Amino acid sequence: MDIVETWTGRAACLLQQAMRLTNEAFAERLGVSERTVSRWHANPGMVHRTEVQQILDIAYEGAGETVQRRFALLIRPPTPRVEAQALRVAIAVVLRGDDVLLVCRRGDGELRWQFPAGMVKPGADPATVAVQETHGETGVHCTIRKQLGERVHPVTGVVASYYLADHLAGEATNLDPLENVDVAWVPRASLTRFIPQAQLYPPIINALEATA
């Protein structure tokens, strides 16, 4: 049996492929959320945290020889580059008065504040995904006001669709502690203390200034 020294997003997804499991079934096998597995697909180069490394070690060791052989064949040959356009995320910029909703994400050995977001499956409506993922991550119900545009994200390389949304109900709560450290309502005037202005999609800045 080969030893996986370091589990990355790509290696985890290849283990899923070797097991021939859907995102939902793989997430259930590992005891994580389906949203977490989707993020691994979107970030193949990410290095998992220690506790996730251990979860994947256990899954691999218990998968059986057939799956392990299949995994070895998958991980050794070069993997064709996946075009960024094949993956899409929906991002919600949720307003409540003068505040905007942020989540503090774990990843790559550091913490990053960002807007709630989720992967868009083929055929799904990105606006609906933005609303559903916001509620799934934070417990906040929101409604889409308008689309702000889309771009190829400069960090992840996926197509990102941005939506301006209004808070309807619900307190901000961290409902995905495996991926997130915290969620918070942040004064929009202080947003750049959490997300550097250079990383903010310009239409977001314009929209926040126009609704101030």
Task: Assess if residue 3 is contained within a domain.
Answer: no
Residues 71 and 121 in one domain: no
Q: Amino acid letter at 169?
A: A
**pLDDT score of 84:** 42
pTM over 0.75: no
Among 75, 93, 124, the domain-final residue is 75
**pLDDT score of 210:** 85
- Convert the pLDDT of each residue in 121-142 to its tens digit: 888 999 999 999 999 999 999 9
- Convert the pLDDT of each residue in 170-211 to its tens digit: 999 999 998 899 999 999 999 999 998 888 999 999 999 887
Residues 35 and 95 in one domain: no
Q: Who has greater pLDDT, 186 or 42?
A: 186
Name the pLDDT band for 166 (thresholds 50, 70, 90).
very high
Residues 123 and 179 in one domain: yes
- Residue 29 sits in a domain whose CATH number is 1.10.260
- Residue 200 sits in a domain whose CATH number is 3.90.79.10
Task: Assess if residue 1 is contained within a domain.
Answer: no
**pLDDT score of 110:** 76
169, burial (CB in 10 Å: exposed 0-12, middle 13-18, buried 19+)? exposed
Residue ranges making up the domain that contains 64:
9-75
205: number of Cβ within 10 Å: 14
Cβ contacts of 63 within 8 Å, gap of 6 or more: 15, 18, 19, 71
User: DSSP string covering 145-173, please?
Assistant: EEEEEEEE-TTT-SEEEEEEEEEEE----
Residues 70 and 95 in one domain: no
**pLDDT score of 111:** 81
Both tokens of residue 112?
């990053």
Domain total of the chain: 2
Q: How far apart are CA 140 and CA 14, in angstroms?
A: 33
* pLDDT cut 70: percent of the chain above it: 92
Residues 191 and 156 in one domain: yes
Residues 39 and 57 in one domain: yes
